Amino acid sequence: MKEKVTLPATQKTKDGAIRKKSTSITVRLLRAITITIISIVAVICAVVGFQLYKKNIAQFDEFTAQQFSNIERSINLFIQNGKNTVTMLAENPTVKNADETLYNYTGERKDIVYTHNGKTEQDITALFVRMDKNYEEFKEIYMGTRWGGFVSSLSEEDEQGFDPRTRPWYKAAAAANGEVIITPVYISTISTGGSPVVALAQAIKDPEGAFLGCIGLDLNLTDLASRVSSIRIGKTGYCMLMQNDGLILADPKHTDYNLKTLKETDIPAFNEIDKMKEGSAFIMLDGKTWKVSVFSLPEVNWKVALFIEQNEILSLFYTLLKNMILIGLFMFVLYFTLAFIFAGALKRYFKRLEIVFGKIASGDLTDRLAVKKNNEVGRIMMNLNTAIENNHTMICLLKDEADKMNSIGSQLSSSMEETAAAIKQIGENVKGVKEKAMSQAAGVTETVATVEQINGRLSRLVSSIEMQTESINESSVVITRMAENTVKIAKTLDQNNELIKTVYGQTKVGKDGARTANEIVKQIAEKSASLLEASQIIQNIASQTNLLAMNAAIEAAHAGESGKGFAVVADEIRKLAEGSNLQGKQIAAVIKETTEIIHNITEAGSRAEKTFIDVYNLVSQISEKEDSILEVMREQEENGKHVLDAIKRINDVTSEIDSASAEMLEGGNQIGQEMQKLAEITLETTDSMNEIASGADQITIAVKEVSDITQKNKASIENLSNEVSKFKV
């Protein structure tokens, strides 16, 4: 066996070609698997990561909206409580009966000596003090009259010249047509250090309906700001409260900037927030990226900004992305290991193939490949073993035939001498054979032409029959599918008919239910009207009780010391009456809203009942149409079966014709082939006879040449035997 030679990267082979060193199949396989896995993991991470990012942002937006809703509800409740108090005080008879005796700091009336001992002022002051003590968030309750008089829940004296009519709260309330106004936030100077307050004010009318003055209430925002500052959005988020003009009311992260405007701070991010009316944005604050969502409170002209760190929003996204990357790395290592093992096995297989092919190239046909599995690779190895075995058998036969040819060559040489003697006799017989061969050649030529025409017609007939068979088969398949589809459609229509009947019944039930619901809602509306009358009666009773309490208080005052206990009871009765009156109004408002809602429900129920009736009629029509379609589809199913049987019979007859025509064509082809062979033989015979007749005198020379060729053939046979002997079998 020849020694195996490994070619360098650019070494020339024996035929002069340059072979370059190529990358091994193992490296290519591992590289392809690596690129594939990395691409899949990257695409999955990108797609899933983007979806998670959008979902996290959406969840945060929803969460912040819920937080703002809670904050808005708390602030509105805080402000509404103050508004209700101002409205209640403005409607209080004690306040509505204020007159010119209230202390006046303006000095306009020189003819009146003002004191704080007037009964009207003392009653109003007592009322304000009681209300102030009941609510911690009330900083001060005060009132200014159209004459310049002023009374407050505080005992402190105002400076001379003070005129409430010039104050912004008074002017705004007087111009508000009886509505409660809210002033911007300002710093109260009542207590040391000052605290942020907002003023609520409303115009007062006397019992005759004339403008009397304005009443005001200062709400202390310290507790509200503390509650807002204590709100936490997630782990890192917080809430910031500000006015629309940028005044910061509460910022737990930057308390030094509270009660300053956003523009007065040295934080660039606050300038961006100041420009935002509503919406969200990402900002850089304190060296971190935050998402801020700004919401407006139009009732008080405030804004709420909710902050949360971007890292917290995307924490779940980062965690899942990290997990996906780890899973991707694990998959990469796993599949790369499996691919490496598979590539190693594939490399060993190709190494074994290389050894076997090397032996075959060197003439050794004794080696075989071991087949362990009956898969694609196993079958390739079996076929390769079969090819080697066939080559082995062929070489063995070549050796045997070479030996035989050596013997035949020797015999041929001796036979040529005997041939010369027989040539003379052959020449005499050639003349008679030549004449018969010429006659036979003419007849054979005519017969061949006739057979070719028959075969051509048979070929065209077979082609036509095959086309007909294919068309019939295709028609049979199409009709079979059509019949099957017809059966399926019929079954589907049966099911649809059952469903429509079910819908028909449910629609009838829904129609009756809608009618019953409308009747019940009408009864509820009638009951709600009676509740509204009861609420009005409660308000009237509360008003009368309030008047009785006032009369009792007056009588107790007339009684002196003996009536003080009765005065306390009368005062408590008056408070209960005022509370009952307020609750009665709220109940009346709720019942009125309930009545409107019930009215809307009644209208919606009527529309629903009408819709159920329309659906009921339409479903009835659809059911009738479904029955008609189902009957037609059943007739179509029977017709399809008849057509399918007819096509089947035609297909059987066509198959028989196809088989018979194929046999005829095969017989004609065989006849044609035999006639062609006969024509060729006849032609060769005729030519041979001509050559024999014209060259009989040259046979001797030919015999000599044949003898020479025989010697050369003998030498070639010896060379062939030498080459075949090189193979190892």
For residue range 247-292, what is the model confidence (pLDDT) as tens digits? 888 888 888 888 888 888 888 888 888 888 888 888 888 888 888 8
Angle at 663 between CA 661 and CA 669, to 5 degrees: 100
Q: Indicate where the chain has its CATH 1.10.287.950 domain(s).
A: 376-708
* Token reading at 433: 């054979």
Average pLDDT over residues 186-214: 85
Among 139-148, 268-277, 410-419, 486-495, the range of highest mean pLDDT:
139-148
* 553 vs 141: which has the higher pLDDT: 141
Q: Fill in the DSSP letter of residue 158.
A: P
Q: Name the fold adopted by 91-220.
A: Beta-Lactamase (3.30.450)
Of 109, 247, 143, the residue nearest 186 (C-alpha): 247
Given this model, what pLDDT does residue 146 score?
92
Given this model, what pLDDT does residue 141 score?
92
Given this model, what pLDDT does residue 8 score?
45
* Token reading at 55: 């979902």
Given this model, what pLDDT does residue 193 score?
56
Q: Is 218 helix (H, G, I), strand (E, B) or coil?
A: strand
Cβ burial, residue 117 (10 Å; 0-12/13-18/19+): exposed
Q: Fill in the DSSP letter of residue 255.
A: G
* Token reading at 369: 């490949």
DSSP per-residue codes, 288-354: EEEEEEEEEETTTTEEEEEEEEHHHHTHHHHHHHHHHHHHHHHHHHHHHHHHHHHHHHHHHHHHHHH
Q: Is the pLDDT of residue 690 over 70?
A: yes
Least confident window among 356-360, 371-375, 582-586: 371-375
Amino acid type, 74: S
Cβ burial, residue 205 (10 Å; 0-12/13-18/19+): middle
Q: Are 51 and 324 in contact (CB under 8 A)?
A: no
pLDDT band for position 703 (cuts 50, 70, 90): low
Given this model, what pLDDT does residue 417 score?
64
Q: Which residue has the tokens 């082939």?
A: 673
* Token reading at 571: 């005062």
CATH architecture observed for domain 376-708: Orthogonal Bundle (1.10)
Given this model, what pLDDT does residue 6 score?
44
Mean pLDDT, the chain, rounded, equals 78
pLDDT band for position 182 (cuts 50, 70, 90): very high
Q: Is the pLDDT of residue 459 over 90?
A: no
Q: Is 253 helix (H, G, I), strand (E, B) or coil?
A: coil
Q: Is the pLDDT of residue 45 over 80?
A: no
- Identify the H or E element spanning 114: none
d(CA 483, CA 498): 23
The Cβ of residue 592 has, within 10 Å, a number of other Cβ atoms equal to 13
Residues of the chain with pLDDT > 70, as a percent, come to 85
d(CA 381, CA 64): 69
Of 13, 17, 134, the residue nearest 84 (C-alpha): 134
Of 206, 250, 231, the residue nearest 94 (C-alpha): 206
The Cβ of residue 302 has, within 10 Å, a number of other Cβ atoms equal to 23
Q: Is 592 helix (H, G, I), strand (E, B) or coil?
A: helix
* 334 vs 411: which has the higher pLDDT: 334
Q: Are 296 and 289 in contact (CB under 8 A)?
A: no
Of 154, 140, 286, the residue nearest 199 (C-alpha): 140
d(CA 17, CA 189): 105
d(CA 378, CA 370): 9
- β-pair partners for 40: none
Cβ burial, residue 398 (10 Å; 0-12/13-18/19+): middle
Q: Is the pLDDT of residue 465 over 60?
A: yes
- Give Cα separations from 729 to 4, 355, 359 (angstroms): 20, 17, 12
- Rounded to the nearest angstrom, the gap between the alpha carbon of residue 579 and the centroid of all alpha carbons in its chain is 57
Q: Is the pLDDT of residue 237 over 70?
A: yes
Q: Is the pLDDT of residue 1 over 60?
A: no
Q: Is the pLDDT of residue 624 over 60?
A: yes
d(CA 267, CA 437): 122
Among 248-262, 344-358, 571-585, the range of highest mean pLDDT:
248-262
* Sequence-ordered list of residues with C-beta below 8 angstroms from that of 658, at least 6 positions apart, any chain: 462, 465, 466, 469
Average pLDDT over residues 586-592: 77
- Give Cα separations from 399 to 367, 396, 705 (angstroms): 20, 5, 28
Given this model, what pLDDT does residue 3 score?
42
Given this model, what pLDDT does residue 288 score?
87
Least confident window among 103-107, 452-456, 695-699: 695-699
d(CA 505, CA 511): 10
d(CA 379, CA 52): 49
Of 177, 225, 164, 175, the residue nearest 198 (C-alpha): 225
Q: Name the fold adopted by 227-313.
A: Beta-Lactamase (3.30.450)
Q: Is the pLDDT of residue 91 over 80?
A: yes
- Rounded to the nearest angstrom, the gap between the alpha carbon of residue 185 and the centroid of all alpha carbons in its chain is 48
Angle at 134 between CA 131 and CA 135, to 5 degrees: 95
Q: Is the pLDDT of residue 84 over 90?
A: yes
The Cβ of residue 628 has, within 10 Å, a number of other Cβ atoms equal to 9
- The answer to pTM > 0.85 is no
d(CA 595, CA 21): 93
Among 3-7, 308-312, 557-561, 699-703, the range of highest mean pLDDT:
308-312
Average pLDDT over residues 454-458: 74
Q: Are 317 and 52 in contact (CB under 8 A)?
A: yes
Q: Is the pLDDT of residue 435 over 90?
A: no
Angle at 184 between CA 179 and CA 190, to 5 degrees: 105
Q: Is 249 helix (H, G, I), strand (E, B) or coil?
A: strand
Least confident window among 276-280, 414-418, 506-510, 603-607: 414-418
Q: What are the backbone angles phi and psi of residue 18, rounded to the nearest 5°? A: -100, 125
**pLDDT tens profile 373-401:** 677 667 777 787 787 777 778 777 777 77
Q: Indicate where the chain has its CATH 3.30.450.20 domain(s).
A: 91-220, 227-313
Given this model, what pLDDT does residue 199 score?
92
* Sequence-ordered list of residues with C-beta below 8 angstroms from that of 700, at least 6 positions apart, any chain: 420, 423
Q: Fill in the DSSP letter of residue 562.
A: G
Residues of the chain with pLDDT > 90, as a percent, come to 10
Q: Is 196 helix (H, G, I), strand (E, B) or coil?
A: strand
Amino acid type, 643: V
Given this model, what pLDDT does residue 7 score?
42
Given this model, what pLDDT does residue 9 score?
45
Least confident window among 46-60, 307-321, 400-414: 400-414
Q: Are 239 and 229 in contact (CB under 8 A)?
A: yes
DSSP per-residue codes, 511-555: HHHHHHHHHHHHHHHHHHHHHHHHHHHHHHHHHHHHHHHHHHHHH
Q: Fill in the DSSP letter of residue 491.
A: H
What is the torsion angle, in degrees rounded to the nearest 10, for the CA atoms of residue 594, residue 596, residue 602 and residue 605? -80
Average pLDDT over residues 64-91: 89
